[in-house]
Structure 1
Amino acid sequence: MESRNDAAIRPVRPGELEAVALLRWRWMAEAGGEPAASRGEFVAHFAAWAEANAPSHRCLVAVRAETVVGMAWLAVTDRVPHPGALVRASGDVQCVYVVPGERGSGLGSRLIDAVVAAARESGLERVTVHSSDRAVPAYARRGFAVSPRLLQAEPVPRT
């Protein structure tokens, strides 16, 4: 697909949370997941969650012709102060998704760039991402690298 840069990348607006919730629903459906609630229940829950968590979870959207066609989230976590920095925070890129018809157009990369720019503007120490295998090259092109010191554990085993 040729690159089309006419889509706007910007913070989500309150009236767009339903469209963002439907992107998340679509993502799960593509992955073959089993919903825990009806679509309507999920959309209502998602919108309420997004509003309640707006101070720590910033959503950016890709919009083309007034239609939300992609999203990316920056989750910001305050970090423990230390003598050299009294105020510290880090970020985590979450839920980057572009609808199938828009993939390959550069929107995913633009969303990642926008999230990293938001992290930079907020003075975050670092930004992490837990990526799908397919998206690792996109993050690597945007400056993300494997860190031997960033470890993770699953405190609750997956069923």
Structure 2
Amino acid sequence: MENISIRPARPDELAAVAALRWEWLVENGSQDLGEPGAFLRHFVAWARENAGTHRCIVLVRDDRVIGMAWLAVVQRVPTPRAPRRASGDLQCVYVVPEARDGGLGGRLIRAVLDGARELGLERVTVHSSPRAVPAYARSGFQESPRLLQAQLARG
């Protein structure tokens, strides 16, 4: 049995998480990324500054971070029946290529959804690549005729 754990990222793991984000960008054909070291430092600082709204869950095998997922929590406008409301957006789900297709990505997604339930979030959205749609569907995501988006910038 593999020594796998899925848990919130520790502060000392943020550099490894930043490296996964870099890998994701390179794997998906991003160009003109600049120098990796500068990005990694910026990413770690960003993660620390945004820890209140962006929660990172990591997939760890034998003390090595091999996957990540982020839950961005957004406060929503209150209603009389729900004075405290929030929704989430699942972001940057990534598992290293050699660990894919064994169900680990699904476990990571479900761990984020479990955390969202614990926070009492109304819903969680995700912007998926075509390849990952089946994994999200297996975890309970569905298309919605009411959830619309306006593409403003590419990032």
Length-normalised TM-score, structure 2:
0.96
Indicate whether 1:39 and 2:36 are aligned: yes
Contact 1:90–1:127 (CA under 8 A) maintained in structure 2: yes
Contact kept? 1:5, 1:106, Cα under 8 Å: no
Partner of 1:153: 150
Q: Distance in 1 between matches of 2:34 and 2:60?
A: 27
Give secondary structure in 1 for the equivalent of 2:21: helix
User: Structure 1, unaligned stretches of length 5 or more?
Assistant: none
Deviation sequence 1:47-99 (CA, Å, 0-9, x none): 00000000000000000111000000000000000111000000000000000
RMSD between superposed Cα atoms in Å: 1.4
Aligned pair partner of 1:17 in 11, 14, 19: 14
Q: Secondary structure at the match of 1:76?
A: strand
For the 8 Å contact 2:2–2:61, the answer to whether it is kept is: no
- TM-score when scaled to structure 1? 0.94
Which deviates more from structure 2 when the two are superposed, residues 99-108 or residues 46-55? Answer: 99-108
1:32, CA displacement in angstroms?
Answer: 1.3
1-side partners of 2:112 and 2:150: how far apart?
25
SS in 2 for 1:92: strand
Matches within 5 A, 1:47-126: 47-126=44-123
3-state SS of paired residue (1:125) = coil
Tell me how many residue pairs correspond in the alignment: 155
Aligned partners of 2:8, 2:128: CA distance in 1, in Å? 22
Structure 2 unmatched runs, 5+: none
Q: Is the 8 A contact 1:25 1:39 kept in 2?
A: yes
Identity of aligned residues (%): 62
Give the residue type in structure 1 aligned to 2:78: P
User: Which residue of the partner structure matches residue 129 of structure 1?
Assistant: 126
Q: 1:5 to 1:111 in 2, by over 3 A?
A: farther
